């Protein structure tokens, strides 16, 4: 098996290095990641300028100015002569729960692999300020899930969103299959001034969990469990189609 490893925190991030080391015990791995932090890049693809790929060291490549989606797209769509069997993204420096999945570059890297027909997993460590940074424990979880996939494959072209509590490995309570929860509205923007007195703004922190009851990814993490959520790409609200058809009838 050949595994493509990417992320949105950049190729030098601790999380991707720990993930790559763990997965390299199972298969041949190759890192292709952004040259710097691209958190929140979502599924953006660079179409207006060409991209350059550099090899930092054997098996570790970075895309100058590229997004996570760019990295996976380039790696799978002709940059390498051989083909990959699996895409693993992360380990993200922070959670990707509920609504986060729409903004996350970590999840977007995995989804791009799924668009191109591969099974994919996105891994995130649910750290809070001052927490333990248990990337090694998260990497062991990732290693176990990939080993399970090799032992018993799932259908091709899926994405699993995996969130891991920031705990030592022996303190994790287990693994749960979950659905995405939801957050409250984001906190207000944070105004600041530059040295010339001009107003600037930071995007405010994410809101707290709102839809965070039993069965959600938020609940699993809060109770010390690894959360594994299968994602789908179809955004159609199918139950509303008959109502929309009726609403449009006078215009038909």
Mean pLDDT of 180-197: 81
Mean pLDDT of 234-244: 92
Residue 193 lies in a domain: no
**Higher confidence at residue 172 or residue 132?**
172
d(Cα 198, Cα 247) in Å, to the nearest integer?
48
pLDDT in tens, 189-223: 788 888 988 988 877 677 665 666 888 999 999 99
Highest mean pLDDT among 36-40, 94-98, 99-103, 160-164: 160-164
Residue 187 lies in a domain: no
Cα–Cα distances in angstroms (integers) from residue 117 to residues 18, 73, 86, 184, in the given order: 26, 11, 10, 34
Question: Which two tokens mark 187?
Answer: 């906190």
User: What is the pairing mode between strands 86-93 and 2-6?
Assistant: parallel
pLDDT score for 99: 86
Look-up: residue for tokens 């405010």? 204
pLDDT score for 209: 58
Number of domains the chain contains: 1
Residue 184 predicted with pLDDT over 70:
no
CATH number at residue 222: 3.40.1210.10
Share of the chain above pLDDT 70, in %: 95
Determine the 3-state secondary structure of 162 from DSSP: strand
pLDDT score for 201: 83
Residue 190 lies in a domain: no
Q: For residue 133, name the pLDDT band (cuts at 50, 70, 90).
A: very high
Residue 222 lies in a domain: yes
Long-range CB contact pairs, 232-235, < 8 A, 24+? 233/111, 233/114, 233/115
| Percent of residues in the chain assigned helix, strand, coil, to nearest 5 | 30, 30, 40
Residue 192 lies in a domain: no
Residue 203 lies in a domain: no
pLDDT score for 14: 96
Domain that holds residue 128: 2-182+209-251
pLDDT in tens, 28-75: 999 999 999 898 888 888 999 999 999 999 999 999 999 999 999 999
Residue 89 lies in a domain: yes
Rounded to 10 degrees, the C-alpha dihedral 125/128/130/133 comes to 0
pTM summary value: 0.90
Residue 189 lies in a domain: no
d(Cα 174, Cα 75) in Å, to the nearest integer?
33
């Amino acid at each position: 098996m050949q595994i493509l490893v990417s992320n949105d925190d950049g190729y030098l991030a601790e999380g991707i290095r720990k993930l790559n080391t763990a997965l390299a015990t199972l298969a041949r791995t190759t890192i292709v990641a952004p040259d710097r932090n691209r958190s929140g890049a979502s599924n953006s693809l660079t179409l207006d300028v060409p991209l350059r790929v550099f090899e930092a060291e054997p098996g570790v490549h970075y895309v100058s100015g590229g997004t996570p989606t760019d990295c996976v797209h380039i790696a799978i769509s002709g940059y390498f002569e051989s083909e990959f069997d699996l895409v693993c993204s992360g380990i993200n420096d922070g959670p990707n729960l509920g609504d986060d999945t729409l903004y996350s570059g970590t999840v977007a890297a995995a989804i791009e692999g799924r668009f191109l027909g591969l099974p994919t997993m996105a891994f995130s460590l649910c750290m809070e300020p001052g927490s333990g940074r248990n990337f090694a424990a998260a990497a062991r979880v990732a290693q176990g899930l990939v080993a399970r996939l090799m032992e018993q494959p799932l259908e091709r072209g899926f994405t699993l969103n995996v969130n891991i509590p920031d705990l030592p490995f022996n303190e994790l309570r287990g693994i749960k299959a979950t659905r995405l929860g939801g957050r409250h509205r984001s906190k207000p923007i944070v105004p600041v001034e530059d040295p010339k007195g001009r107003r600037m703004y930071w995007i405010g922190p994410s809101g707290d969990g709102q839809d965070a009851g039993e069965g959600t990814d938020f609940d699993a993490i809060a109770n010390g469990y690894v959360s594994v959520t299968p994602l789908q790409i179809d955004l159609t609200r199918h139950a509303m189609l008959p109502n929309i058809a009726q609403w449009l009838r006078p215009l038909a």
